[in-house]
Structure 1
Amino acid sequence: MIWSLVKIVVFIVAVAALALGAGYLLEAEGGVRVIVAGQEFTLGPLESVVGLIVLVLVIWIGLKLLGLLVAFWKFLNGDETALSRYFARNKAAKGFDALAEGMMALASGEGRVALAKAEKADRYLNRPELTNLLTAQAAELAGDRKKAEETYRKLVQNDSTRFVGVRGIMKQKLADGDTDTALKLAEKAFALKPKHEDTQDVLLKLQAGHEDWAGARQTLSAKLKYGNLPRDIHKRRDAVLALSEAKKVLDKEQTIEAREAAIAANKQSPDLIPAAVMAAEGYIEQGQKKYATRLLKKAWEAQPHPDLAAAFAAIEPNETPAARLKRFAQLTRSHPENSESRMLMAELNIAAEDFPAARRALGDLFETDPTTRSATLMAAIERGQGASDAVVQGWLTRALSAPRGPQWVCDNCQNIHAEWTPICTNCSAFDTLSWKRPPSAEIAMPGGTEMLPLLGAQSAEAAGNAMTVVESTSDESDVIEAEDLGNPKKKGA
């Protein structure tokens, strides 16, 4: 309110001052004499003021016209002017609009449209680091791999986009199956950006695939350093790589280095079964049976496994069945109710010809956790106790349709492996094998298996043939052989 009043007062004062000034000029005498081309002009005071204003206005317009002519001349010469900046802004606006439309088309899955918009943006913008990125991705989406590769190579030439170019070519080589070139490109990309998690994962996978275990361990350490891997997982996977490195050294018959590497791997991850087995074998070769026993017991506490039992048996290869049974009781003490412990004790009692004890050890395992191995052990026990061929054959028939039990299964693709490997042979995933039951462990047979014992011949030969079939369907190393069923006094386990 006050400000409005002040403005009104100022306006009135200004008008009054102008009126007073005009009145003064009208009443004043004299003026300005102007002589032009021999003619004299006399201007009064008011006319002089008006003339001065007109003169200033003409001079200002003349200067502006002169500036416009100079700017037009510079524009023709290619110099930067207000006019050129106007056209440049207009051109940049069209370029960024085309770039935005191309990105939207790329996100919508319209590769051809995105490629056309990228070319349009490239014409309007002098920003190849932006337009080349869009062009490369649009070309890949449109299926024009040649165009994409050419664009990625252009990106490699620019310092700010070199990493993107190298990574793009690396992915193309991976898609082509050229892992050798992809490995070199992954190493280059890792050198440019060691913190990039996806590059770390790709490099680690390629190094593991090429059995470059030392390089893979360095990459794994980088993942831990830059916070892309938890410490406990790093410890486990580093142990896997150390074990793989030990196996590679063992293939070269450098047993001392292999033993040291395997022992180091086991210390990093005691629950890694292959590392425990290899380390125990190293201790056994050194004559340090006490260390091997302690190591295998610790691994058995983490997870009972047939390979651990085989390594434990190798500590005393020439002991009697009774002595072995007594020594293995120390191993199975930690998990007495585990199915692996029960089947192991049953095998040891069968080897010692104590078939009632073998039955007690096995108990109701087949009813609670049926597997091919437990059914085969029941057949061996029945044969040892003098059961008829029909009873033995009945158990062998059950073994045909029973699940195979725990196997080395890939957590990623569920592929089953006969032995542990650091990399899945099916999906090439690293450190994904676990000792567990396969998702589909049962054998599907049309019509079921209930009538098989009645259809077969009631003879020991039929039982032996059925046992042979069981062996062909199971890869357990400690399954009782068919000939053992016919001769219960023969050593087993």
Structure 2
Amino acid sequence: MIRTLFFILTVLALGFGFAWLAERPGSLSILWQGQLIEMSLTVAATVVLAIIAAVMLIWWIVRLLWTSPHSARRFFRARKRDRGYQALSTGLIAAGAGNALLAHKMSSRARGLLRAEQEPLILVLEAQAAVIEGRHDEARRLYQQMAEDPETRELGLHGLYAEASRLGAHEAARQYAETAAEQAPYLPWAAKATLEYRCQSSQWEDAIRLLDQQRVAHVLTRPEADRLKAVLLTARAEEQLEGDPAGARDSAVHALKLAKDLVPAAVVAAKAYLREDNVRKASSILEQTWKVAPHPDVARTYVRARGGDSAVDRLKRAERLASLRPNNVESLLIVAEAALDTQDFAKARARAEEAARMDARERVYLLLADIEEAETGDQGRVRYWMAQALRAPRDPVWIADGHISEKWLPVSPVTGRLDAFEWKVPFDQLEGPVEEGVVSRGDAAINALPPVKKAQSSTEKRAVVEQVEKTDASASPKTPAEPVRTPEPAETTSPFFGHPPDDPGVREGQRPADDKNRLRLF
């Protein structure tokens, strides 16, 4: 484009010059060696231009002849280089496809056409061909050679890391990853591997520093970097909690600023404040986290924040926490548990039944069984709730890569992945309950039970005995040897499951003859 524009401008300039000379006629006389040469200015300008063009043409021909050997040599060298790059390209494609024979053949051809010291891709092709053919020693030698060259250092370190990981040499793999991360923190594989290694060895300070370098190098997005840094700060806070509560508090609070829904950070921050006797701050942090992510750990820490509180005080704190997230299962359960501790069975049962209607799962039914045991002692009803718990869906747990943990961990013990644990239902229990059968959920499970009957007090039992004794005395005199027999009450309480006790000798609908004359003991 520039050459075309220059040519057009040159032609325009010549045309303008000749037009200018034509409008201003004149003559030119030259006396040279006794000869007088006369011509017009236009002819003289044309002759000058012709001479210049002839000189340029002659110079081009002479230069072409002079440089022809070099040009021929350069032509054949470029042709050879093109053939070498074509072989290199074909070999890399073959190596990527797993064609070891063609990759090795193209590698040999490329080395014959190109020089390895000038084209590092030859080493890459040879290393890949060696890996495909199973010559791992040769591949490691080539990767080591690439790692010593500044141009291919990163590729060589990645190859050495992959080979060390394949052989199970985790220490060597860690060293290669750390070397690559220190020299090039923008490499995702090196940064991720180094971060996981440092987390597995609890080097939280080094891990946080490396994470900041990755953020500056734009390896991670800002939300990802904030989340991972919050996890690392929480892990450091848990480690500092025993020996340095103030440091644990600062780390956990910083983590909550980066991830407001990180429950472990809130729990650690609250425990650190409680060690400093700052119940107000601890409660404030737990309340803020509860609004975002209601979790049982937050509820338990909040209810038992003050060690000297009575059961009634804990119930009041539970109700205050529940008011922050109404119509929530965890809110109902924490109030029901606190009410059970205060022996307020009516409130405990009401809240537990509301939770069952909202989300019928294992923990809800186990709590109803505890309430039944404490209030009525009816083993039939207790067994009923236990059976419902066996059939109900499981409760959420801390799980990472199929591993269930009783508490949150910053790193997965299976894969070493950071921030792997999630609070959710285990995968293997999503399809159905533990025990086969139809699950009675919510209202169905609650309505299947008869209403709770209030147990007779000792005064009522004594009145019944006295009434029976008076009746027997008016009917016939009582002999000392004859025991007092109580008649069957007018309204008998039917068994819970609607049939006689599970006695092999008693069939349904039949009772021993003397069963009605059995003594009723109070």
Asked if Structure 1 and Structure 2 have the same fold, meaning a TM-score greater than 0.5 normalized by the shorter chain, the answer is yes
Answer yes or no: is the 8 Å Cα contact 1:301–1:334 preserved in 2.
yes
SS class of match (1:430): coil
SS class of match (1:159): coil
Counterpart for residue 105 of structure 2? 116
Counterpart for residue 177 of structure 2? 186
Letter in 2 for 1:142: E
Partners of 2:436 and 2:330 lie apart in 1 by: 30
Q: Tell me the TM-score normalised to structure 1 length.
A: 0.70
Counterpart for residue 168 of structure 2? 177
Residues 314 and 362 of structure 1: CA distance in aligned 2, closer, same or farther (over 3 Å): closer
| Greater relative contact order (CA < 8 Å, ≥ 6 in sequence) | 1
SS class of match (2:115): coil
Counterpart for residue 460 of structure 2? none
Q: 2:91 aligns with which of 82, 98, 102?
A: 102
SS class of match (2:373): helix
Counterpart for residue 236 of structure 1? 227
Answer yes or no: is the 8 Å Cα contact 1:379–1:392 preserved in 2.
yes
SS class of match (2:231): helix
Partners of 1:112 and 1:365 lie apart in 2 by: 67
Answer yes or no: is the 8 Å Cα contact 2:232–2:410 preserved in 1.
yes
Deviations 1:444-480 (CA, angstroms, capped at 9, x unpaired): 4467799xx98xx979xxxxxxxxxxxxxxxxxxxxx
For structure 2, the 5+ residue unaligned runs are 1-64, 441-495, 503-522
Q: 2:423 aligns with which of 426, 435, 440?
A: 435
Counterpart for residue 56 of structure 1? none
SS class of match (1:363): helix
1:382 maps onto 2:365 in alignment: no
Q: 2:310 aligns with which of 305, 316, 320?
A: 320
Residues 218 and 345 of structure 1: CA distance in aligned 2, closer, same or farther (over 3 Å): same
Letter in 1 for 2:367: L
Answer yes or no: is the 8 Å Cα contact 1:183–1:207 preserved in 2.
no
Q: 2:384 aligns with which of 380, 394, 398?
A: 394
**Deviation larger for 223-232 or 143-152:** 223-232
1:352 maps onto 2:342 in alignment: yes
Residue 137 of structure 1: CA displacement? 2.2
Counterpart for residue 452 of structure 2? none
Q: 1:293 aligns with which of 271, 278, 283?
A: 283
Answer yes or no: is the 8 Å Cα contact 1:409–1:433 preserved in 2.
yes
Counterpart for residue 92 of structure 1? 81
Partners of 1:280 and 1:444 lie apart in 2 by: 36
Counterpart for residue 424 of structure 1? 412
Partners of 2:234 and 2:131 lie apart in 1 by: 40
Partners of 2:187 and 2:300 lie apart in 1 by: 43
Deviations 1:86-141 (CA, angstroms, capped at 9, x unpaired): 66445434422321221221232213421332133123210351100111223223
Residues 98 and 458 of structure 1: CA distance in aligned 2, closer, same or farther (over 3 Å): farther
Answer yes or no: is the 8 Å Cα contact 2:391–2:436 preserved in 1.
no
Residues 90 and 270 of structure 1: CA distance in aligned 2, closer, same or farther (over 3 Å): closer
Counterpart for residue 40 of structure 2? none
Deviations 1:177-216 (CA, angstroms, capped at 9, x unpaired): 3333223222221233232333322322222223222222
Describe how 1:21-36 pairs up with structure 2 within 5 A.
none
SS class of match (2:172): helix
Deviations 1:299-318 (CA, angstroms, capped at 9, x unpaired): 11111112112221332122
Describe how 1:221-232 pairs up with structure 2 within 5 A.
221-232=212-223
Answer yes or no: is the 8 Å Cα contact 1:390–1:458 preserved in 2.
no
Answer yes or no: is the 8 Å Cα contact 1:421–1:433 preserved in 2.
yes
Residues 385 and 263 of structure 1: CA distance in aligned 2, closer, same or farther (over 3 Å): same
Answer yes or no: is the 8 Å Cα contact 2:314–2:338 preserved in 1.
yes
Deviations 1:366-403 (CA, angstroms, capped at 9, x unpaired): 34422221111111222233163111111112212322
SS class of match (2:398): strand
Letter in 2 for 1:437: V
What is the total number of aligned residue pairs between the two structures?
A: 378
Counterpart for residue 34 of structure 1? none
Answer yes or no: is the 8 Å Cα contact 1:408–1:416 preserved in 2.
yes
**Deviation larger for 229-238 or 260-269:** 260-269
Deviations 1:21-44 (CA, angstroms, capped at 9, x unpaired): xxxxxxxxxxxxxxxxxxxxxxxx
Q: 2:123 aligns with which of 115, 128, 132?
A: 132
Partners of 1:444 and 1:307 lie apart in 2 by: 25
Deviations 1:319-358 (CA, angstroms, capped at 9, x unpaired): 1111211122221111122111111111111111111111
Partners of 1:112 and 1:430 lie apart in 2 by: 41
1:370 maps onto 2:352 in alignment: no
Residue 284 of structure 1: CA displacement? 0.7
SS class of match (2:120): helix
Residue 248 of structure 1: CA displacement? 3.1
Answer yes or no: is the 8 Å Cα contact 2:304–2:314 preserved in 1.
no
Letter in 2 for 1:407: V
For structure 1, the 5+ residue unaligned runs are 1-63, 72-80, 460-493
Partners of 1:222 and 1:236 lie apart in 2 by: 15
SS class of match (1:315): coil
1:261 maps onto 2:251 in alignment: yes
Q: 1:280 aligns with which of 270, 290, 296?
A: 270
Letter in 2 for 1:337: N
Partners of 2:241 and 2:355 lie apart in 1 by: 39
Answer yes or no: is the 8 Å Cα contact 1:300–1:308 preserved in 2.
yes
Partners of 1:93 and 1:307 lie apart in 2 by: 67
Residues 141 and 335 of structure 1: CA distance in aligned 2, closer, same or farther (over 3 Å): farther
Report which of the two has the higher share of helix. Answer: 1
SS class of match (1:281): helix
